[in-house]
Amino acid sequence: MLYAFKDFKFDSDSLLLTKNGEPLEVRHNELKLLALLLEHSARVLSKEHILSYVWQDKVVSEQVVFQNISQLRSIFGDDAIKTFPKRGYQWQLNTEAISPPQTEVTLTQASSESTQAATPVKRPLWLYAVLASFVFVLITVIYWPIDTDQQGMEPAIKLAYIPFAMPQENTDFGDFTAITLNDNARFNVTALTHLTSEQFQMSAELEYPLLAEAHPFILTGEVRAYKQQLYLDFLLKGPFADWQGQLSAESDKALIDQLLTHLQQPFIYDLLSQPLSPELKQAKLSIAHQLAPEDLIVLGSLISVYRETREHEKAMVLADKLASIALSQHNPQQLGNALLYQSEILTGMKLFDLSSQKLALAIEQFEKIDDLKRQADVWHAQSWLDDQNNDYPAVKSSLLKSALLAYNANDKPRELDALTYLSKMALVHQLEDEKYHYLQQAENKMKAYQLPSYHFAMVPFHYAIFAANPSDKEPHLKQVLEFTTLTPDHWAAQSSRQQLLKHYINQNRLTEAQTLVDSLASDNAQNAYLKTLLAQALQQTEAMIRYGTRAFEQAKLSGNQWLSLDVALLLCNTPNIQLNHDFYAQYIIDNATASWRQNNQMQLVALNL
């Protein structure tokens, strides 16, 4: 059956969903669920009914139903499917069921033929001549030689790149100090020679917006040599996300061939060109992995998304697969990555001893290829496990090792991250002198490296964390906003702006709150949430609902689960018949993490959630 609603058409037989005639990439189970909802749109479908139809004999939790319902709502709108508490779900959109046109023609012809079967039909000879000519032309067209080079050609990908630097002390591969790319049938490349990889790495928040209109996709990376092998760390920056990975080869030509083969996959640019929920990323990456099962960068990205959605078992299966392939290929880089993924998954499952064992094995692999950056990552991860054991000396040792390894790798972001995190850990363990010492050390490094101003925002941001009450935090948060004037969407700026706004509202300083909100320029989930909070304080119910629903949709789409839960809780507390309170309550029940629940315990108890 073919169904039409809004700008969509859905064929329930072939499970094909289109919008304005363009097919959409949606997971198979979501399409089966959509078919079920449309076929039984007149009734409320229980979770049990949905589970038995869509997942049949598979053992899954009831949460998978809500996850798939949420994904369909993200495509069609929250009003498309209504939740009936303790009963189930029902389709709500006006929908037209269309019988396939071909079937109607066939039935008409059959009826006509049945009434005329006894009447012989005499056809003129010219009709056969025309038919024969048509068949000849058709065969000619089908078998006419085609230039195979033009078959299946897609437009060349426009790619700007910063020539890949290689430290001059790596002399095993001759005198070259940078790898450059050239145009080919798949890529139209532009070299950005006014920047180095290191400069772009440390100033991307400033540089990328200046370049993005002309060059939406910017590729950069760093090459190093070790024991007759070249290793590339690359990063592809896009409008909404980054794509990164590691490759290795025995020559620069082989390394470039690997890189370009990997980057010619169209899904990468889809991921970078729009905000996507973890579920949509998961769907695209799953398809990409099926098409290129030996691409270990794609496999690693898929593991990360399953971790993000807290599907630990699936993530572990794929991490085991990555380890197995890497082992068979004698690839220490990817084997180390697989072990690091396994550790992160086990940490998420609170299996800390097993996680630590995986980290020890990962270190061994990264040491084989002298990968200092990933060694730094391992020690950073180990510091978190040390903190679970309430062992500050071990935390300190792990983070200082991470900082030193990052320094030796000339990776300034990793080095500064280790030092600022150590300052925060000193605060947690109530070591007053050390929390200031390591924050000061990080600030001195920033000055020595002559970093852009937004990096220095981390210093007052941490002083705000150290402050005991909101009034003491206020001057530090304002300083964060001063340092990020040119980068207002930096995460530290967004967090500081939210804390300041809540402080102003609590003190009834609504004029200052309004000024803060009026300065917002970007249309994103964080800014929509701030507008929601101010509208609530000003008792502007319609504006609050408009901004709140917008913030919820954007937060879900961008994968910001914590913010989506904050907005859902705010809307649950808003008495208004326009709001589907059951939907937001169910979202909280199904998605709230333990840490978020702890932060919002009083409100959840009041709402009986």
Residue pair 412/374 in contact by the 8 Å Cβ criterion = no
Secondary structure class of 214 (helix, strand, coil) = coil
Secondary structure class of 600 (helix, strand, coil) = coil
pLDDT at residue 184, rounded to an integer: 82
Which H/E stretch holds residue 233? strand 229-237
For 294, the token pair is 């030996």
Report the pLDDT averaged over residues 133-158. Answer: 51
- Percent helix, strand and coil across the chain, each to the nearest 5: 60, 10, 25
**Average pLDDT over all residues of the chain:** 86
Q: Which DSSP symbol is given to 417?
A: H
Least confident of 112-121, 272-281, 295-304: 112-121
Nearest to 246 by CA among 157, 359, 326, 348: 326
pLDDT at residue 178, rounded to an integer: 66
CB burial readout 507-521, b (16+ within 10 A) else e: eeeeeebeebbeebe
> Tokens 């679970």 correspond to what residue?
388
What residues contact residue 535 under an 8 Å CB cut-off, 6+ apart? 541, 543, 544, 547
All structural domains of the chain: 2-98 (1.10.10.10), 157-275 (3.40.50)
Nearest to 220 by CA among 241, 242, 249: 242
pTM: 0.73
Angle at 120 between CA 118 and CA 124, to 5 degrees: 160
Which H/E stretch holds residue 437? helix 432-449
- Rounded to whole angstroms, the Cα distance separating 577 from 546 reads 14
* pLDDT-derived band at 490, boundaries 50, 70, 90: very high
Residue pair 217/238 in contact by the 8 Å Cβ criterion = yes
- Rounded to whole angstroms, the Cα distance separating 387 from 132 reads 82
Secondary structure class of 62 (helix, strand, coil) = coil
pLDDT at residue 172, rounded to an integer: 52
pLDDT in tens, 553-602: 999 888 888 999 999 999 998 887 777 888 888 888 888 888 899 889 88
- Rounded to whole angstroms, the Cα distance separating 561 from 279 reads 12
Q: Which DSSP symbol is given to 144?
A: S
pLDDT in tens, 48-82: 888 888 877 565 667 678 878 888 998 998 889 99
